């Protein structure tokens, strides 16, 4: 094991999985001076649990005090607000409200406020029904009471993770897509990984495989200490004018198993309702269900009666990698230079940067040459927020292709020809928002099929001979 | 941001309605008429409807959609209309002022009058709350036609068509044109939606038709693999397919309205208009399918001619704000009533007919009530795909201004 030629390098760290956690991990270790390779089995990053969530940056007010989750969310939250200006990541400081709709829920509020204070989120405060209705006049008068969490933000779930991995790549990390880890051997301090796209060697492995966390542990360690139990969440997204109905993120009183159905604005200007919480076997199939979508819409209208007048823009479903345990499952196999980061069920977007620091602080036993990068490159994130400057506002954009989301030819071509260029329509949508507006591609699919010719697999359409 | 541009009439949308309106305005002697088209070329939906028959009424013979669109553009230009394509209207401001965006940047346009002609689009898969996975290859007919006729692309080979409106049959023809073959047509209603069923039926030959389908579900991971449904006998059918065409269920393209100061009607999905065809800001006129889903190009063309006469009159002798009452449907079976406002003046030159559509097959007396009085009553026997036209209600018998409520007495 002495080969260190360019075509067969030994990486300091191999990160398995490019969800938001893997992307944050890649950034952290790259900035800390490690030579990092990220192995993603899908054609695009963010193809698993991270492709569909509620896009909220949580304070962690409701996490179990003393849990790994709570500390990672708190640390992730703080670091996000610290770095987001530099990376150009937009935030919308909406705040949140936890709302009680019956007496039982009302009675449970003081304990939840107490828990928030225990978690160090000290600005959480009880509010009267009247005060809440004054702040959010579209809420149903059936409201009983609630409390406010002023520090909650709405963020861009995709640009965020893309910014992490793009910063890692800009500073030397290698991303391999279509690279599934099938197995591996640890020998003489080196992991020899069998990967669908070709073997990879690394001193350290960090499993961030999300929905495949247990499968990956089993493939590399022989067993996993937990079982992934995919939990499906469906969402209904309303047209942009509906966003005026709710200033704050509207949260229900959580139950033991779920945080419940949330109403939240998105940074793209819409108002969304979801998720459902449905346990299932499949790790790949996140279906929408007609009945659940009607039910979500009805739940939304129950809380915000005026929502009944607004059109639906889209619906989606995602899978959270829950396990049989409440807390995150982060464990280290010191003897085999291996860390497993699993069970990041629903707070991964908020906690990712904190999880990365948590793992980095485990002192994984590998020294990186040179130490932290002195002046790391800070690339700019995709500018997709409805509330901040967009590409179409700047001259020379080459024309608007997607009229609903005002996506320009210039930004589509920049994504297709830039670093980590998308190779699927799904990936392009997450990078640019093309076809994600109210017409869902009615107007722009034709033009897009020509513009993306030669870039996407599968293509949007084949040439008609 | 440079100077503010000016024009007399700014028309938002260069489809059939916008081009017909512009041309008719010029014929009325109105100067400085500008059509703003966000696409690379004006012409609208007919640009990618590569089949007959367009233009029989208005151009005297049958055209294919793209030729019809070109003829409308040609006629407009010949009449002295200025067509600016690649211009996106980003905002509607009070008193006929528009925010525009082009590749060169943002600019504002101040007109004397604006006409909104942004048309319709089909409902998406998401808006229908369909079950199943979300693979690539689920398209509306409009998206398919733009791929086939404007870009020479084929998104799939053997798609299933959801819906049985006129546009659904047009999708079959688009498939044939693009070298695709429809695997089936599936309708959730008990019968085919399109009227004069026998004519488009010829297009269906060889395409299995399933009506009364329930529990539709799309299957497939990256790409569509199958669609399943429960047939009218309660048996689950699974059809292998590589694409799904979501057809019909048109809705007005009202995005600009929703973000503006203008009122939107929940029934039509378009703007609230008065008897003169004006939105709730009288400097804004509205014509074409933005008013309501959905009429043919021929109908929109004719309607635009009437709108042009009212606009021309308003430009030379402003109507201004007039006292009015509101009218609305109070019957779930009556989807909309157009116009939503009736003038309490003599309304010279205003619309003389009301338009309505039902949401289910209904037969009974259509009744308009105001202040306890019946101001209109007419027997109807209608279906959702049929347009209902009635004379405008007469308010002369009313002692006081009170809103009009329209319903159907079965």
- In this predicted structure, the answer to whether residue B187 has a pLDDT above a threshold of 60 is yes
Q: Closest by alpha carbon to B373, among B341, B402, B408, B343?
A: B402
- pLDDT tens digits, one per residue of A199-236: 999 999 999 999 999 999 999 999 999 999 999 999 99
- In this predicted structure, the answer to whether residue A3 has a pLDDT above a threshold of 60 is no
Instruction: Give the pLDDT band (50/70/90) at residue B52.
Output: confident
Q: Does B125 touch chain A (CB under 8 A)?
A: yes
pLDDT of residue A1: 38
Choices 3.20.20.10, 3.40.47.10, 3.40.50.970, 3.50.50.60: CATH for B124-248: 3.50.50.60
Instruction: Give the pLDDT band (50/70/90) at residue B204.
Output: confident
Element (H, E) at A71: helix A68-87
pLDDT of residue A40: 98
The string of DSSP codes covering B82-131 is: EEEES-EEEEEETTTEEEEEETTEEEEEEEEEEEE---EEEPPTGGGT-E
- In this predicted structure, the answer to whether residue B2 has a pLDDT above a threshold of 60 is no
Give the closest-approach CA distance of A30 to chain B in angstroms. 32
Class of domain A7-91+154-227+324-382: alpha beta
Give the closest-approach CA distance of A122 to chain B in angstroms. 37
- pLDDT tens digits, one per residue of B333-374: 999 999 999 988 877 889 999 999 999 999 999 999 998 889
- pLDDT tens digits, one per residue of A96-126: 999 999 999 999 999 999 999 999 999 999 9
The CA distance from A431 to A390, in Å, is 13
- In this predicted structure, the answer to whether residue A363 has a pLDDT above a threshold of 80 is no
Are B124 and A440 within 8 A, CB to CB? yes
- pLDDT tens digits, one per residue of B4-18: 999 999 999 999 999
Chain B residues whose CB is inside 8 A of the A237 CB are 126
Task: Please name the residues between 341 and 380 in chain B that touch chain A, using a CB distance below 8 Å.
Answer: none
The CA distance from A208 to A181, in Å, is 12
pLDDT of residue A7: 58
- In this predicted structure, the answer to whether residue A5 has a pLDDT above a threshold of 80 is no
| A5 or A323, higher pLDDT | A323
Q: Does B230 touch chain A (CB under 8 A)?
A: no
Are B259 and A294 within 8 A, CB to CB? no
Least confident of A182-196, A398-412, B372-386: B372-386
Are A449 and B147 within 8 A, CB to CB? yes
Query: What value does the mean pLDDT of chain B take?
Result: 94
- pLDDT tens digits, one per residue of A383-430: 999 999 999 999 999 999 999 999 999 999 999 999 999 999 999 999
Domain ranges of chain B: 1-122+251-321, 124-248, 323-410
**Residues A121-147: what's their mean pLDDT?**
98
- In this predicted structure, the answer to whether residue B197 has a pLDDT above a threshold of 90 is no
- Which of B122, B215, B217 lies nearest to residue A442, judging by beta carbons? B122
- pLDDT tens digits, one per residue of B124-171: 999 999 999 999 999 999 999 999 999 999 999 999 999 999 899 999
pLDDT of residue A93: 96
Chain A residues whose CB is inside 8 A of the B107 CB are none
What residues contact B224, with CB distance under 8 A and at least 6 apart? B135, B136, B137, B138, B156, B159, B218, B241, B242, B243, B244
**Residues A279-284: what's their mean pLDDT?**
95
Mutate to test the interface with A, among B40, B131, B143 (most CBs of A within 10 A): B143
Q: What strand order describes the sheet that includes B334-338?
A: B334-338, B353-358, B388-391
- In this predicted structure, the answer to whether residue A364 has a pLDDT above a threshold of 70 is no
- pLDDT tens digits, one per residue of B292-310: 999 999 999 999 999 999 9
- Which of A241, A288, A403 lies nearest to residue B38, judging by beta carbons? A403
pLDDT of residue B232: 95
Give the closest-approach CA distance of B225 to chain A in angstroms. 13
Class of domain B1-122+251-321: alpha beta
pLDDT of residue A2: 39
Domains B1-122+251-321 and B124-248 share a fold: yes
Chain B residues whose CB is inside 8 A of the A443 CB are 39, 121, 142-143, 146
Task: Produce one character per residue of A146-165: b if its CB has 16 or more CB atoms within 10 Å, e if not.
Answer: bbbbebbbbbbbbbbbbbbb
Assess if CATH 3.30.9.10 describes domain A92-153+230-320: yes
Domain ranges of chain A: 7-91+154-227+324-382, 92-153+230-320, 391-451
Query: What value does the mean pLDDT of chain A take?
Result: 95
The CA distances from residue B386 to A56, B295, B358, B361, B367, in Å, are: 46, 10, 8, 10, 18
**How many other CB atoms sit within 10 Å of the CB of residue A454?**
7
- pLDDT tens digits, one per residue of B73-129: 999 999 999 999 999 999 999 999 999 999 999 999 999 999 999 999 999 999 999
- Which of B136, B142, B266 lies nearest to residue A425, judging by beta carbons? B136
Q: Tell me what percent of the residues of chain A surpass a pLDDT of 70.
A: 97
- In this predicted structure, the answer to whether residue B198 has a pLDDT above a threshold of 70 is no
pLDDT of residue B17: 98
Strand partners, A94: none
Are B258 and A309 within 8 A, CB to CB? no
Chain B residues whose CB is inside 8 A of the A286 CB are 133
Mutate to test the interface with A, among B101, B179, B270, B294 (most CBs of A within 10 A): B101
- In this predicted structure, the answer to whether residue A366 has a pLDDT above a threshold of 80 is no
């Amino acid at each position: 094991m002495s080969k260190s030629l360019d075509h067969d390098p030994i990486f300091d760290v191999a990160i398995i999985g490019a969800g938001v956690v893997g992307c944050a991990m890649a950034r952290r270790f790259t900035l800390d001076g490690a030579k990092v390779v990220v192995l993603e089995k899908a054609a695009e990053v963010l193809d698993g649990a991270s492709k569909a969530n509620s896009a909220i940056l949580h304070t962690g007010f409701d996490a179990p005090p003393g849990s790994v989750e709570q500390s990672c969310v708190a640390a992730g939250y703080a670091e996000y607000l610290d770095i987001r200006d530099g990376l150009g990541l937009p935030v919308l400081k909406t705040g949140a409200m936890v709302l009680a709709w019956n007496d039982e829920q009302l009675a449970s509020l003081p304990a939840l406020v107490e828990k928030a204070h225990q978690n160090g989120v000290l600005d959480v405060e009880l509010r009267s029904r009247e005060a809440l209705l004054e702040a959010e006049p579209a809420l149903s008068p059936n409201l009983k009471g609630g409390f406010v969490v002023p520090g909650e933000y709405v963020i861009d779930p995709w640009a965020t993770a893309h910014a992490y991995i793009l910063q890692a790549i800009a500073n030397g990390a290698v991303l391999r897509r279509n690279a599934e880890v099938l197995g591996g051997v640890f020998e003489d301090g080196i992991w020899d990984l069998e990967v669908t796209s070709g073997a990879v060697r690394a001193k350290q492995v960090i499993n961030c495989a999300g929905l495949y966390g247990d499968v990956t542990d089993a493939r590399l360690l022989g067993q996993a200490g937990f079982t992934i139990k995919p939990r499906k969440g469906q969402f209904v997204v309303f047209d942009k004018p509906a966003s005026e109905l709710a200033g704050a993120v509207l949260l229900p009183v959580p139950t033991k198993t779920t945080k419940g159905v949330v109403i939240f604005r998105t940074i793209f200007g819409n108002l969304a309702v979801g998720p459902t919480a449905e346990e299932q076997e499949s790790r790949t199939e996140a279906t929408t269900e007609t009945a659940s979508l009607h039910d979500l819409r009805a739940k939304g209208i129950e809380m915000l009666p005026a929502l009944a007048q607004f059109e639906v823009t889209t619906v989606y479903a995602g899978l959270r990698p829950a396990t049989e345990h409440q807390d995150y499952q982060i464990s280290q196999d010191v003897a085999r230079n291996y860390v497993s980061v699993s069970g990041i069920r629903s707070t991964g977007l908020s906690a990712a940067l904190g999880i990365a620091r948590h793992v980095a602080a485990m002192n994984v036993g590998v020294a990186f040459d040179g130490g932290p990068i002195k002046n790391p490159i800070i690339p700019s994130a995709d500018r997709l927020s409805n509330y901040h400057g967009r590409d179409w506002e700047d001259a020379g954009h080459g024309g608007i292709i997607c009229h609903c989301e005002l996506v320009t030819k210039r930004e589509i071509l920049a994504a297709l020809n830039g670093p980590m260029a998308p190779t699927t329509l799904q990936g392009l949508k997450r990078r640019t928002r093309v076809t994600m507006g109210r017409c869902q591609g009615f107007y722009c699919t034709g033009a897009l099929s020509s513009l993306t010719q030669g870039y996407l697999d599968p293509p949007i359409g084949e040439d008609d001979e | 941001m440079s100077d503010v541009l000016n024009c007399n009439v700014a028309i938002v949308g260069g489809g059939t309605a916008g081009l017909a309106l512009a041309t008719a305005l010029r014929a009325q002697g109105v100067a400085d008429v500008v059509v703003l088209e966000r696409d690379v070329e004006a012409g609208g939906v007919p640009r990618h409807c590569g089949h007959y028959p367009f233009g029989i009424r208005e151009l005297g013979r049958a055209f294919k959609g793209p030729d019809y669109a070109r003829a409308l553009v040609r006629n407009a230009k010949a009449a002295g209309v200025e067509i600016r394509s690649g211009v996106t209207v980003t905002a509607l401001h009070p008193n006929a002022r528009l925010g525009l965006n082009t590749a060169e940047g943002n600019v504002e346009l101040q007109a004397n009058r604006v006409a909104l002609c942004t048309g319709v689009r089909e409902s998406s898969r998401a808006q229908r709350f369909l079950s199943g996975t979300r693979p690539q290859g689920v398209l509306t007919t409009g998206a398919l036609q733009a791929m086939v006729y404007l870009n020479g692309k084929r998104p799939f080979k053997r798609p299933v068509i959801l819906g049985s409106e006129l546009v659904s049959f047009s999708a079959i023809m688009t498939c044939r044109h693009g070298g695709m073959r429809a695997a089936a047509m599936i309708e959730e209603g008990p019968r085919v939606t399109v009227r004069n069923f026998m004519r488009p039926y010829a297009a269906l030959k060889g395409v299995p038709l399933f009506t009364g389908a329930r529990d539709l579900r799309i299957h497939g991971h990256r790409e569509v693999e199958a669609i399943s449904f429960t047939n009218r006998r309660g048996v689950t059918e699974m059809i292998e397919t590589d694409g799904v065409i979501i057809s019909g269920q048109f809705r007005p393209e009202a995005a600009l309205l929703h973000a503006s100061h203008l009122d939107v009607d929940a029934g039509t999905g378009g703007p609230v208009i008065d008897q003169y065809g004006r939105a709730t800001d009288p400097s804004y006129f509205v014509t074409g399918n933005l008013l309501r889903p959905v009429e043919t190009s021929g109908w929109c063309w004719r309607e635009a001619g009437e709108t042009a006469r009212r606009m021309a009159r308003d430009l030379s002798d402003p109507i201004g704000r007039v006292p009015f009452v509101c009218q609305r449907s109070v019957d779930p079976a009556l989807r909309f009533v157009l116009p939503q406002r009736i003038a309490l003046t003599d309304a010279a030159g205003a619309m003389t007919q009301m338009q309505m559509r039902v949401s289910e097959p209904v037969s009974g007396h259509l009744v308009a009530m105001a202040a306890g009085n019946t101001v209109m009553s007419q027997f109807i026997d209608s279906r959702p795909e049929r347009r209902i036209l009635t004379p405008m209600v007469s308010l002369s018998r009313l002692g006081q201004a009170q809103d009009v409520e329209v319903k159907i007495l079965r």
